[in-house]
Amino acid sequence: MKVVIIGGVAGGATAAARLRRLDEQAEIVVFERSGYVSYANCGLPYYIGGVIEDPEALTLQTPESFFSRFRVTMKVRHEATALHPERKTVSVKNLETDEEFEEPYDKLLLSPGAKPTQPRLPGVGLEKLFTLRTVEDTFRIKDYIRQNHPRSAVLAGGGFIGLELAENLRELGMEVTIVQRPKQLMNPFDPDMAAFIHSEVRANGVKLALGYTVEGFQERDGGVDVLLKDNAPLHADMVVLAIGVTPDTALAKEAGLELGLKGSIVVNSRMETSLPDIYAVGDAVQVRHSVTGQDVLLSLAGPANKQGRIAADNICGGDSRYLGSQGSSVLKVFGMTAAVTGVSETNAKKAGLDADAVVLSPMSHAGYYPGGKLMTMKVIFEKETFRLLGAQIVGYEGVDKRIDVLAAAIHAGLTAIRLKDLDLAYAPPYSSAKDPVNMAGFLIENLAKGVVKQFRIEDVGGLPRDGSVTLLDARTPQEYAGGHIEGFRNIPVDELRQRLEEIAPGKPVYVICQSGLRSYIACRILAGHGYEAHNFSGGFRFYDAVANDRRLIESATACGMDQ
């Protein structure tokens, strides 16, 4: 059996290694357009910033090392130019010699990946305008910085690459501005949780131009003007396009393979395309979201590796299945960690799901053990069924392990209430006896059983201020004086029982505190005395962070750059 693989990196290289482990006799040939067959995409921004110093550390395998261990022929700088399914061959061009030839196959695996989205705008292609996707792109940016010492950069796009690059360019001492049309960074997060990411980015000197439409690029004064619709241009010494990626599927289209979202390759659960003996994996394929059941594109290394393994199994006669993607990911944002799994509340509602969420602010470990830090968790679930839909966490220590527990719970089909039953490791330096994941389960169980009712940040503006309801802040007078929501009166939770006569009977009471715990206790006290009480999800800390972020974005959109 001869297997030809187009594209290396995560999906193609993983498939090649798995194929050899399953079949010692198979002939395996990989064609890779770039000069590197297996490299660490996710590490590229950290090489630019100097965190990774040795460029060879980016190269996970070389053609020589791959052949030595796996007897796989890796041909870099070879571009597949056409597929011929009718005669089971691939047209290939050697980019170093311009030689062209046809390579026959018994099985073909497509792993072309995705390419940086290049908008059709004036000025795309300028010398000082870069994209970051390959090792060659990385060296180009690194060399430009080393030779020209730019003092400023504009990054068009605020996703994973944009944020990682912003951090690394700031570490080099550059002024950095992120500009994009959406009014939030990191689309997998809900806007309220993205507010904490925005705050960390701003605190580290990155300017945000959110809600701005880029209309083109123009050279001026030795740098580049980023032209904005209805606004003055942004000027910088260099610009990096990081507005997303597009499946690189021109070959598949020309060969007549069925295509899906944004021209991606349609595959079944066995990673088989619409044509016999042709498989596809990685960023170029359309997959099913395991929570919503909808078709999606997810450019992540973990799914690509799994898909490569599955395709190899099936090429060798097995019956492995890809169960779908749920988008689990984690990101370092300067000193903060931001992580997500499943579907956001925003996207759950777009998908037609009746979603709700709880927000909590637990410590990373036991409060009495030194060094604990707050994290903000949002856990999304389906009303009525309490099916666990997704989670988002921003914080410092312990974020990654909590998101992994929640990702496993979603995959296992646990309800959000069952989070309370998980038996998780505890020692004071690492967690609390009631782990944050358990706490989320407790909160959701209380909602399910009617022990407490909640109101959310989007409800605050619509609460009547005419006396028909009571708005109560259960924090201390000092906390209240430091900032509060207009219309909420202050009665500390520890004084509530003695001051119940100040709360009009027969009217709903909406209660807030700093994190949600004291207001929950106040709600239980009120319920015990016949009041209908509602607890604010997330507390004033959450409300203040989100409200402040919204003010900054709106004022920047109206008046100029976000500082």
Exposure class string for 475-484: b at 16+ Cβ within 10 A, else e: bbeebbeeeb
Handedness of CA 171, 334, 168, 36 (dihedral sign): positive
For residue 177, the one-letter residue type is T
Handedness of CA 483, 487, 491, 492 (dihedral sign): negative
Q: Is 60 left (phi over 0), alpha (psi -120 to 50) or beta?
A: alpha
| Beta-carbon contacts of residue 9 (< 8 Å; ≥ 6 apart) | 32, 37, 38, 39, 41, 111, 113, 282, 304
- In whole angstroms, what is the distance from residue 20 CA to residue 498 CA? 75
List the catalytic residue out of 42, 316, 513, 559. Answer: 42
Which helix H or strand E contains 239, and what residues bound it? strand 238-241
376-382 β-sheet, strand order:
329-333, 336-342, 388-395, 376-382, 355-360
DSSP 264: P
CB atoms within 10 A of CB 173: 9
Exposure of 309 in the CB half-sphere (CA atoms within 13 A): 9
31 DSSP β-pair partners: 6, 75
- In whole angstroms, what is the distance from residue 440 CA to residue 72 CA? 48
- In whole angstroms, what is the distance from residue 45 CA to residue 51 CA? 9
| Beta-carbon contacts of residue 16 (< 8 Å; ≥ 6 apart) | 5, 8, 28, 30, 66, 70, 72, 74, 312
| Beta-carbon contacts of residue 431 (< 8 Å; ≥ 6 apart) | 364, 365, 366, 398, 424, 425
Which helix H or strand E contains 446, and what residues bound it? helix 436-448
User: What φ, ψ does residue 165 adopt, rounded to 5°?
Assistant: -70, -40
Query: Is residue 523 annotated as part of the catalytic site, yes or no?
Result: no
- In whole angstroms, what is the distance from residue 76 CA to residue 96 CA? 10
Handedness of CA 13, 19, 20, 21 (dihedral sign): positive
- In whole angstroms, what is the distance from residue 88 CA to residue 104 CA? 6
- In whole angstroms, what is the distance from residue 263 CA to residue 248 CA? 8
Dihedral Cα 391, 396, 398, 399, nearest 10 deg: 20
- In whole angstroms, what is the distance from residue 107 CA to residue 48 CA? 38
Give the catalytic positions in this structure: 42
